[in-house]
Amino acid sequence: MAWTLPKGSPIFAPHFTAMQLKRIQEYFGQYQGYLKSRPAQTERLPIWESQRIFQDNWDMDTEDWPGMYDRSLQNSTTKRLWKREAYEPKRMMLELMRMQPDFTRHMFIDLFNEEKSLEGRASRFVYYCDMLLQEYKDNNPRSIDNNHYHDDNYQMVSLYLAFRYPDRYAYYEADAFRSMLEKLGSTQLPETNDLERYAKVTQTLYKMMAKEEGLLGLHQKRLQAGLYYTDESRLVVWDFCKFVAG
C-alpha cells in the first residue's frame, strides 16, 4: 500500500527520503510475516496481560494506595517488567509508597497530567524518587537498597504511562529504539534517553501501521480476550521496534 509520511515527522530530519520510506515498508512486510509465525503467538505478549490488569485495577482515589499499586502490576507468567536480577522498581516503589503514601500519590498524579510536557513529568518523577530514596536510606541505614530503578533509561516510567494511556504511549527501551532508528535509516540517533522523541515516533509509526492492510488485524488475532488488553494500544509499536532491533 502506498502512503506518505505525515508532514513534520519526528523520525527523520530534515527530510524523509524515498529510500527510508521503502525500508519501513519492507520491515512492515517482514513484521506481518512474523505475526503469522509460532513465536509471535507467545513472545512479548505477556505485557498486554499486565496492561489489562493495570487498567482493571488502577484507582487514584483508593485508600489502600500501596495495595492498589501492587494489584495493578501483576502477570500470570512473568515479572520481568518490574523484577529481574539487579532490577526491582516495583518492590522499591512499594517501600516508598508505604513511607510516603500521599507524596507518592502526588507523583503519579503529576506524571499522568497530560497538560504538562512529557519530558518534564518524567524528569520530575525521577527527581521525586531520588528524594524519597534518600529519605528511605536515612530511615533504614542498614538497608543495602541504593537505587529506585525509575531512572534506568526511563523504562519503568514509560511502563506506567503505557499502561495508564494505552492509546498514547508505548513501553520504552532505549537500546531497541536506537537500533530500530539506525536500521530504518535515521541519521540522527539519540545519544541519551529521549522519551519525548520516542513518544512522537511511536505515534507516527502507529498511524502508518493502521494504513498497512492487514497488519493490525494480524496483531489483534494474537490477543486473547479476557487475558490481554485488546483495545487500541501503542504496545504494538514497541513490539515492532523489538522485532526490527532484533
Instruction: Examine residue 148 and state whether it is found in any structural domain, yes or no.
Output: yes
Choose the weakest-confidence range: 102-111, 188-197, 223-232.
Answer: 188-197
pLDDT for res 223: 97
Dihedrals phi, psi of 225, to nearest 5 degrees: -60, 140
Q: 163: which 3 cell numbers?
A: 499502561
56 and 152 assigned to the same domain: yes
pLDDT at site 90: 98
- Residue range 19-30: mean pLDDT, rounded: 88
- Number of structural domains (the chain) is 2
Q: Cell numbers for 59, please give them.
A: 484507582
Q: Which residue has the cell 500470570?
A: 76
Q: Which long-range contacts (CB under 8 A, 24 or more apart) does 112-121 make?
A: 112/60, 112/160, 112/161, 112/164, 112/165, 114/165, 114/168, 117/196, 118/161, 118/195, 118/196, 118/199, 119/195, 119/196
**pLDDT beyond 90 at 185:** no
Whether 32 and 83 share a structural domain:
no
51 and 154, same structural domain? yes
Residues 161, 106: Cα–Cα separation, whole Å? 15
Flag whether pLDDT at 238 surpasses 90. Answer: yes
Domain boundary (144, 164, 184) is at 164
Please, which pLDDT band fits residue 9 given cuts at 50, 70 and 90? very low
- Let me know if residue 8 belongs to a domain: no
| pLDDT reported for residue 190 | 85
Domain of residue 93 covers 46-164
Which pLDDT belongs to residue 17?
62
Clarify whether residues 77 and 157 are in a common domain: yes
Q: Is 219 a residue whose pLDDT tops 80? A: yes
Local structure of 118: helix, strand or coil:
helix
Q: What is the mean pLDDT of the chain?
A: 91
pLDDT tier, 21 (very low <50, low <70, confident <90, very high otherwise): confident
- When pLDDT is cut at 50, 70 and 90, the band that residue 2 belongs to is very low
pLDDT tops 80 at residue 148: yes
How many residues belong to the chain?
Answer: 246
Mean pLDDT of 86-95: 97
- Asked if 52 and 35 sit in the same domain, the reply is no
pTM: 0.92
Q: Tell me what percent of the residues of the chain surpass a pLDDT of 70.
A: 93
- Residue 95: partners with Cβ closer than 8 Å, 6 or more residues away: 136, 145
Position 36 scores a pLDDT of 96
Is residue 173 scored above 70 in pLDDT?
A: yes
Residue ranges in the chain assigned as alpha helix (H): 18-35, 46-57, 65-72, 89-99, 101-111, 118-139, 155-164, 174-184, 195-211, 215-221, 235-245
Calculate mean pLDDT across residues 220-244.
97
